[in-house]
Structure 1
Amino acid sequence: MFGLKESEVATLVKAVSVGGGDDLDRDAIEERFARATWSGLAEPGDRLAGRAIRQLGAVRALTGVVEHWEPERFAAALSLDGDTVAEDDMAQAIDRWMPRLKSNTALIALRQAARFGARLLTPHDTLWPSRLNDLDWHSPSALWARGTDEALAGIERGIALVGARAATGYGEHITMEASAGLVDRGYTIVSGAAYGIDGMAHRAALASQGLTVAFLAGGVDRFYPSGHDALLGRIVESGVVISELPCGSPPTKWRFLQRNRLIAAASMATIVLEAGWRSGSLNTAGHAATLGRPLGAVPGPVTSAASAGCHRLIRDFDAVCVTNPDQMAELAPIEHGLLSAENVAGAADGVHGSDEKADAAGPRDTERTRLLDALSARSARTANDVAARSGLAISAVRAQLGLLELEGRVTETERGWKRAAS
């Protein structure tokens, strides 16, 4: 199976499958292993990887990479009904994937998942969060989860509560009341386990004996931030911790931004409780609006910079002003566990949220962010190593390293490249 011992692959895949995987046949095992491999082969949200998996199936798409299909052949296989894929785009995609194509990478991730009691979810599983399919080619190839089946099923009634890490006492108080109130109304609280608003949303849900879901930007075997180890451990016991990245994957700035699309997509609605003018939580709001999800924002004191982002959403992007759990629940009423179609149709649109660095990062800014994430200020790394860590093509890595060196942001040593000291 892809050059590996079928018995070893089957044993590991069954060990991390829902229900023990005893009912899986060879085709199902091969499909799950291929999706597990893709979760580490391509960076989150990779459009061409998602398109290849959707159109060819995970197994055939992976076969194309393993067998080193030429860009022309790969592009032709993905081109349907006049919707073609440019050979140059396909060549760049293959260049992004190849540095990570190692036979034992997926096996190591599966072993680590089994060790930590994590499970591999695919779109074929009944517990797969179905709203993630709205991401189309940007949807995850698989999910890695630690937690309860009840919480996984509860995502269908999920509302995302997000906000700034540097929360004020006002923001934390509003979040505590919102989370507890929504739990009492039957909702599941979805967030990103960050400091500040996210952490308070999870804690209040747990304190109210409710369900909560934390989406991480790294593997579920390495909790981040480390200061939330205890909190995430509690979520695993009665809720669920989820990532689209395999065990062992470190969180990076790029992956945090991509993680936000899962929070928005999986939830019935997104509420921003407190956020600065350029807070990263506005990125989550942007994903929610793009997907047609209802978007709400809690106002704060007009003199508070910590609420400027919420006021921006209300004034410029038609977010609904919400001040209590009742108003938040009105955005996405639970009707036998389903979202009201009227509220989906009435969702705000046109928001294109920002990250902490820039309002609209272009392709070059994205490449630089991913490249700098992959470099260390202490240990020198080769260009090939940086390409594997960043998920960028080696040609793009070399080009960007040269430019960053001219700017004084990286330095080259005998052993490789290092990030320059701030």
Structure 2
Amino acid sequence: MDEISTGMLLVILAVLLFLSAYFSGSETGMMSINRYRLRHLVQNNHPGAKRVQYLLDRPDRLIGLILIGNNLVNIGASAIATILCLRWFGDAGIVIATFGLTLIILIFSEVTPKTIAALHPERISFPSSLILMPLLKVMYPIVIGMNFITNSFMRLLGVNPKQSQMADALSSDELRTVVNEAGNLIPTSHQEMLVSILDLEKVTVEDVMVPRNEIVGIDISDDWKSIVKQLSNGQHTRVLLYRNEIDDAIGFLHARDIMRLMSKNQFTADKSILVRAARDSYFIPEGTPLNVQLLKFQRRKERIGLVVDEYGDIQGLVTLEDILEEIVGDFTTSMAPAPSESVTLETDGSFLVDGSANLRELNKEMNWDFPTDGPKTLSGLIIEQFGDIPDARLSLRLGGYPVELVEIGDTMIKQIRVFPELYQKPDNQTND
């Protein structure tokens, strides 16, 4: 080394520091790249993405190659720096070279290139793959030998080195986070629909069904004049036909079938015509998730069904439109009142709410946080809290909200006053 000039040693040191920065930045860029965007680019035949994916298919080999190169150049740089400092400072040069080179490597060959690579992984990893690919082939025997030792040790620790991280799938909660953080890349309305689709598995048919007491139906036992009047004034395309009580359902009458009977002058005072025209009822077990029911509607070519409990009693009615509204929002043709129609803002900042208001719809529209894992209505939630229908106007804290019972009926609580500004998060409630 004595024959090599100081100027040449400085050039060699600068080159080694540059190579160290290259290996450090390449490692961070490769590991920081968005794997799902990378897959998209690969599907679009992006050459740089294909090279990076090939290297990331076996991250143990990639990391081994980069670390071999990085350690070689760092050790070389350390030797050159020591020689230079010995020439300049004598025996004290060893200490100066140790601390000085450590500081230089940290700033220029570690922190700076890794930060840049973390901020712009594609700009670093795609060009780097042009060098790493042939370098891996040249150093393949060394990399394989080192990986054999390290992989054997990892297997003892229960780690499978051949498992590619790119094969990792996102859970529904993780995918929901990705959608929410998409920002301007996805319009807000589309984000809401995508999240609603993911939430379908958490929502059951009871959450969106028309309750039993609100089902519009025709009792075949009524007199003929009353039946004709109900058919003529009906606001629904399909009407349930039953005998005496809803649990004895006959089937659904479609408006198109009624019009066909009228056009053929067959609409006489004969109830048997209606019974024959009724289409068989489709029954849905309670507790069925909406994503499952949506597929069942599709496979069976159905659009409406009756929700039944374990005893076969009808609990409510669900339509295909009810499920679609969970995804895209309410349709303008919906006959059901919106939650805002059940909520009145008072001058003191409180809200007067109908007891029959659906909890999920209240939470969604009013941005409240009432528990929805039990009763479906606000009245039902309060009755569950007391274990009975209160016989006096009381105040209580319900799901963290101070509420006041305003009007109490014989079978339900008709009106409740809610004070959302005084909301306190329950101790046992945690953020997702």
Q: Please classify the TM superposition score into its range, dividing by the shorter chain length.
A: under 0.3
Q: Please identify which structure carries the higher helix content.
A: 2
User: Which is greater in Rg?
Assistant: 2
Q: Which structure would you say has the larger RCO, counting Cα contacts within 8 Å and 6 or more residues apart? A: 1
TM-score, normalised by the number of residues in structure 1 = 0.19
